[in-house]
Amino acid sequence: MSARTLPLLFLNLGGEMLYILDQRLRAQSIPGEKARKGERCAAPSAPVMNDIISTMFNRKFMEELFKPQDLYSKKALRTVYDRLAHASIMRLNQASMDKLYDLMTMAFKYQVLLCPRPRDILLVTFNHLDAIKDFISDSPGILNQVDETFRRLIETYNPLSDGEFQLIRQTLLIFFQDMHIRVSIFLKDKVQNSNGRFVLPISGPVPWGTEVPGLIRIFNHKGVEVKRAEFTTAGNYVTPQREGSFELYGDRVLKLGTNMYSVTRPVETHMSGSSKNLASQAKENIAPNPLAKEELNFLARLLGGLDIQKPAGGESGFRLNLFTTDEEEEHAAQTRPEELSYKVINIEATQEPARRAELSRILGELDVAEPRPGSAEKGEDLLALMDGL
């Protein structure tokens, strides 16, 4: 596994989350007084998006995220997104949070599968960040936070070799391999089968720097071409006109990672049969693994780095529904497999003992898989891990 995968996974999933929240906030026409106190706002989603993006790109949080480290369990990452989605006055109930996470993961999984070459995962990330910058174009302070992360991405990933990007892509695909949630947009566009698996195209542009298939060249021992043979391909391939820009500003060329919700249309998710079976199997391994010190340490650092702002002056929040009606949301909550649901985490950061106790409780509930190579077999006391927070 690549130790450089986590920032790309987090930022791309976060970008998809922001696309979905923006679309639903606009669809539900959140009133201006909920949007920004004392100001009229053309885009009701702006203040909520500002709060979430500001939290997501917190400098300390990004510093911790970019440290070389292995990926951790889906449940650990999901807990971080629960906190991130509730970083403003907006609130999501259990069913809507489940649906939000399903849409995030399946969208990015599809983008990783479609990347023409492993290095293009970075262009997908840049597309997400470009769109995020549009969300906060009128907030210079938050824009600087995003630009700082952008520069950190360029500095960290541009020098990597193609082989290192291939390892990153493989790590991402391993993370997503058991997720087969059916999404209405993908089903309608016929890019996803009824079992939740994606249909990959056999036509289109070839990766930058490669040639359209259909020609075989034969060379002698001196490296001189001595023969050519052509063959017919099943797909209709074209050569890309130019490579996407890997700079702070520029044309990415690649469209993967752009906002597919810019045109309003309903999006539903459904559990496939294979995912239900995996959920049943997950139920068998409930006991936390005491050897997974690295996993607990990771989540403690990330949660400790997120400073969630509480609504000021007793300001009440509002609930966002990711379903068309409240009845659909209630039905989804009742039919969702219990083992796939996660609790929304609220941690008080004002009192250190209370925060440590809450983190201790959360980490104790984690379902940890196999211990990773290099993990310490003699785990430290959990509260000792919190002392540095």
What pLDDT score was predicted for residue 19? Answer: 94
Sequential DSSP letters for 347-377: ---S-HHHHHHHHHHHHHT----SPPTT--S
Average pLDDT, the chain: 76
Residue 19, judged by CB atoms within 10 A of its CB (0-12, 13-18, 19+), counts as buried
Q: Where are the domains of the chain?
A: 5-30+42-198, 201-240
What pLDDT score was predicted for residue 299? Answer: 58
* Residues of the chain where predicted confidence (pLDDT) is lower than 50: 32-44, 278-292, 341-352, 355-356, 359, 362-363, 365-389
What pLDDT score was predicted for residue 79? Answer: 84
Q: What is the pTM of this model?
A: 0.73
The DSSP code for 113 is H
